[in-house]
Structure 1
Amino acid sequence: MLERIREGSQGVVAKAILVLVILTFALAGIGSYLGGSTEVASVIVNGETISKAQVDNEFAKERSNLERQYGEMFKMIANNPTYMENVRKGVEERLIAQALISQTAAEMDLRVGDDEIKKNIRDMKEFHVDGQFNNDRYLSLVRSAGYRVEQFRELLRVDLTRQQLMGAVIGSDFVLNNEAKQIAKLEKQLRDIRYIDINAADFLTEVSASDDEIADYYDVNSGQFTTQEQLSLEYVELRVADLLSRVSVEESKVREQYESSLSQYQSPERRRVSHISFELGEDEAAAQAKAQAALARVNAGEDFASLAKELSEDTLSGEEGGDLDWMTLDDEDAFTKAVFALENGATSDIVTTDSDLHIIKITDLEPAATKAFDDVASEIKDELLFEAAKEYFYELQQQLTDTTFAVPENLTEAAAEIESDVKSTPLFTRSSVPADVNYPGVIDAAFSEQVLGENVNSDVIDISPEHLMVVRKKEHIPSEVKPMSDVREQIINILKQQKASELAKEKAEQYFASWKAGESIDGVTVVEKSDVSRVSRDIDNAIVTAAFKMAKGESNDAQLVSTSQGQAVVDLVAVKEANDVAADLESVIQRLNATQSNEAYKAFIDSLKEKSDIQYPTS
């Protein structure tokens, strides 16, 4: 719900610690709140259905988010079916968590009151103009997101109720100030060190590789020296978009479509509604008495807006004279029925809904209107052309299927049958597939036994509901072991590097033994570094890691470590504690809180899953 509101405003509502949880709730959409669905179930959580359509919808949103995040790299990611299936599974798991939290909140009878709803709405920066809450912006954004004001408030109540539950769960763990201070001190600690760096490259001139060693290495490790399999394809593709220029629509059909689908081009009647509302609560009689007293004053001629400000328990709309903005007849609840049973300017009797009593007034009315044919003719024609192209697409699909099967040794006849061309690709490997054929189904078919081994056309490949392709092998170069003559220099370099690394290790062990024994080491440079931090980048990371693992106060406790370039002997000289870490405490506490909160959230959801009945009927 909040996701739709935020799309136009980029505001933030929840505290940082709850943002991920609240967004999880927003992912569920409004389907489960507004009514049941006949959609196929993807998951059933304790009897509550999460439909396949819900999962599909949220997966599409997640896919769009990834596309925005990764840009040009997204196509490569999307072509990995395992990765995308994991993304979909993650969406499904979030929806399951949302359902479990909703059910638990309901079992605990948690509810957020109207004053809290009002406060949260007023605090939402999405509804602010010049730093202040603006009712017109509030109404406009809620309406543009597809909600009535009452719907939005009730859905926000659901979100905040969940937030209340999760706030208790993840707020039960907290970071002590002393704990955060100790961690900050460790992170900011500096060390003085000294070390001898032995680079294997310095020993390369002392080693060589014999012909026998080269031959032996080649024989044992021939798998390192293979070429990549290469393939080029011929293919025929069929796309609805390419068929638009090959179909036409008569103008009379456009007119017929307009007249038979007038409802699509009509804007419904709208009514501007105000109300005075009273919560039923536990004492219905008292609520009825208050509503009757208010109705009597309305019927006596007192100003409705003034009474709403004075009496309505929906304080948010009450401050605006009870205004709920425009409504259309898009629901069958008692409130909507009452609204559309009134004349313009009329006031209702008391209307009872699930949790409230209302006195309703129609303050304005806009009758239904129909767009003129000329205004929508172009749009209708485009739709009919697309439908005609799809019908033609299905016809050609069958022809393509039949011909590629009947004539498996080439694609020429299949292309001619659908009035298309045979296209081709250059040679490519599995890691460098041309964009025009870079689809998971196409790659699987291209490297299949049917195409490579049997040398026949592939089956028709469904790339999307509006895009098909058939491929066949044009040229295939299998992977093979390169001749030893081609990789001889590469093997020599490998063997020399191995031998040089061994010499470096031997020399390092000699230096290390001398260092531990307190003996002088001649002809070598001992590097001294002061104020080394855990994130120092001018020293090999292995040396830094070793230095911060060494205990202070232990003399002559040098260590021998492997580095990216060879070996090193490392010794700790001094530890410099960070005493003033006040500026870092807040970020450390936030980070630790986030970690603990994530762990608490996961543990809570896991515990709910263990005692729940979760079924996957479509799996």
Structure 2
Amino acid sequence: MAQKKKTRIGAWIIVGVVLVGLAGFGTGGLTGNVRTLGTVGDKDVTVASYQRALNEQIRALSAQFGTQISFQQAQAFGIDRQALSQVVLTRTLDNEATQMGLSAGDMAVFERISAIQAFQGAGGFNRDTYRLVLQQSSQTESEFEAEIREDLARTLLQAAIVAGVPGSAAPADALVRYVAEARDVTLLRVAADMLTAPVPGATDEDIAAFYDANGNQFLLPEAREITYAWMTPSMILDQMEVTDLAIETLYQDRIAEFVQPERRLVERLIYADPANAQAAADRLATNEATYDALVDERGLSLADVDMGDLGRDDLPTETADAVFAATPGDVVGPFPTALGAALFRVNAVLNAQETTLEEASDGLRAELAAEAARSVINEDFDRITDLLAGGASLEDLADRTDLVLDTISWTPAVTDGIAAYDSFRAAAQVATEGAFPELEVLSDGGVFALRLDSVTPARVPPLEDIREDVAAAWQLQAQQDAILARAEEIAAGWDAETDLAALGITPRVETGLTRRSFVEGAPEGFNQTLFDLALGEARVVDAGTSALIVRLDNVTEADPTATDQAAQRAAISDSIAAGIAQDLFDAYAVSVQENTRVTINQATVDAVNAQLQ
């Protein structure tokens, strides 16, 4: 939490926001005449600033989901409201800075602008590039420089508020002691083969009692009884006619896939000066250096010089002759390239490969048939949709089209047949009784429509239907109870003279365990149990089908001043201080907002949003 707050403090410095805005929605505004959404104190809230904030929020959300989010989707997440709140808060702080007389000088503004990458030319900051970029984003120099000046003033205001936040040594020390405290333990695992007597079988009374007490173990999930009609390319594959000419044409179109000439895996090390390239080649010839060492000397990695697999046509004739005459590991050259003289290392030989038309024919035939089947289904899509719209039932579809009728008792655990498709499972999950079927698409190009006939609620089957399962579960529980009892017995008598080998137990010692350590084979909650133990105490832990006896042998207290703990202590202290600073700033911002008059024209905001939809 504190770390997140620390990040938020930096977010108030909006140079990054300005840069994103330059490539964003632009500042053309709503109609070219409306430029503001309202006012905050004496400051205008511009349409452009709202659009930039909105663009940045959508970009962040898209990155989070790994796909481009539409404006409508962003609105569903409340992104438009967040962007407006961000802009209003920023202008509130701008207004407060102005009221306090805070400002930034021309030199500070220039230094900030000249450091922005978008305005750089070959020799650094370029005035013409600066003007062009602003022109493309529909901003004037005076508007942009005013934003930078306000940004700098706002940063001064923020720095003044959060400056002097006291250090957090005491809580940091306490957290380090808690997190870094280490423990040494001895573990004994007790299994079923260590029981001294067999576990008796369950009686009818035992089974009935276990069923009554543990019925939820046998709970059947809600089942949705569904009738569906579907058709996939594989269902009609045999009906598709594929000519030999079509197969040969496809083969020729993809000839590079089936006929591959001999190739080489090659690396290329380039030198701007041919003399340096020759000197490097001479060092290789006399074994004064290796190719890898030459790459390192250039400050490069092998990934930087890797060219991948190349054919003869990918290299000039002279270079290709040398490369293809070389054996794996050989270095040839130097040879001239467009970038300079280069040494080439051959890493592997990829022999020529050829798949004949006859060998490829079956696969190509199946591919063409599948494509034809998808086309047939696609051509029938509108007709089937029209039938459903006209009131046709799924049974009617099966009679009048190539769709196949079937039923399924679907639960989330059912993934066979049509339930293997994500789109079917999604539709089955939300289907309601009485709803009209709709034609939907499967991932392989097939189609389906479904009808929910009934829902069987989650339920526990009658005992007589699952008696064997209940008896087996009782037996497992009885065995585990016996294992735990045996473990308690061993733990109670465990001392230095206990002959563990005679009990069939091999002790396992774990040292330096912290609260964040992972212990292989330990059950959930093991670390909590470990740190609840007193020195020398042994405790039995249920491990599911076995038991662990845990004895605490040693406690190593953490030393926050130790060298190996210093970095962790500093990070915790900084995180706490950042959290306090953010809380102070948030409290200040809220106070300023409460005392600043905010006027926002919601109709203008709605119009801007409508333009973006």
Q: Normalising by the residue count of structure 1, what TM-score does the alignment of the two structures yield?
A: 0.48
**TM-score when normalising by structure 2:** 0.48
